[in-house]
């Protein structure tokens, strides 16, 4: 690998918050068995859980918005929303491998943003890594790097994509 290519790859790794040596094949035991009926995102623990009938089927490491503390209040604040939403659409042609759209903003989010004089923002997704990283997943993320989305590895987003249907509730907790 040329010095230039190595330098570019190193910069890309730093940019998305994955430390060298921690970007390895997924350590997941495999895709969850069957469909999940709920997603819970635990922001403080940097974890996304797939549940069925209240039982965790699988847990995944996540990265959040670049300002992860507190709920999203307006466009451009770099925060990940908090509350209960649903998966309302899917994108399979995106720079971030696959993406599941979350129904943010809800009416309360819109009202709070309007009261502050700002638009609420939107386009919040659960998505994978940039497609150039292929089918490998980070063991964990070392920094939050999205604009408010919830990022998982590319193998993880494939598993989540297949395990949930549109309309699946997504609860995002502090």
Tell me if residue 67 is catalytic. Answer: no
DSSP assignment of 76-91 equals TS-PPP-EEEEEEEEE
What span, in angstroms and rounded, lies between the C-alpha atoms of 39 and 25? 24
Our answer to whether residue 69 is catalytic in this structure is no
Q: How far apart are CA 9 and CA 1, in angstroms?
A: 10
Rounded to whole angstroms, the Cα distance separating 120 from 6 reads 40
Asked whether the beta carbons of 169 and 99 are under 8 A apart, the reply is no
Return the bridge partners of 146, or none: 65
Cis preceding linkage at 105, omega within 30? yes
Nearest residue to 16 via CA among 155, 161, 156, 140: 140
Contact 85, 103 (CB under 8 A): yes
Catalytic residue among 8, 93, 101, 149: 149
Largest Cα–Cα distance of the chain, in whole Å? 54
Hey, which residues are catalytic here?
Answer: 127, 149
């Amino acid at each position: 690998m040329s010095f230039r290519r190595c330098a570019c790859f190193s910069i890309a790794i730093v940019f998305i918050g994955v430390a060298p040596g921690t970007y390895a094949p997924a350590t997941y035991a495999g895709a969850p068995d069957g469909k999940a009926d709920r997603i819970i995102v635990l922001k403080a623990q940097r974890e996304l859980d797939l549940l069925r009938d209240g039982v965790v089927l699988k847990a995944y490491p996540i990265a959040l918005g670049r300002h992860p503390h507190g709920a999203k209040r307006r466009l451009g604040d770099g925060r990940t929303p908090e509350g209960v939403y649903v998966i309302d659409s899917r994108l399979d042609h995106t720079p971030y491998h696959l993406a599941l759209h979350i129904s943010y903003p809800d009416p309360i989010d819109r009202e709070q943003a309007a009261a502050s004089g700002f638009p609420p923002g939107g386009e919040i997704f659960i998505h994978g890594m940039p497609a150039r990283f292929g089918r490998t997943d980070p063991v964990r993320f070392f920094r939050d790097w999205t604009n408010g989305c919830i990022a998982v590895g590319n193998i993880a987003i494939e598993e989540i994509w297949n395990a949930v249907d549109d309309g699946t509730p997504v609860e995002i907790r502090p």
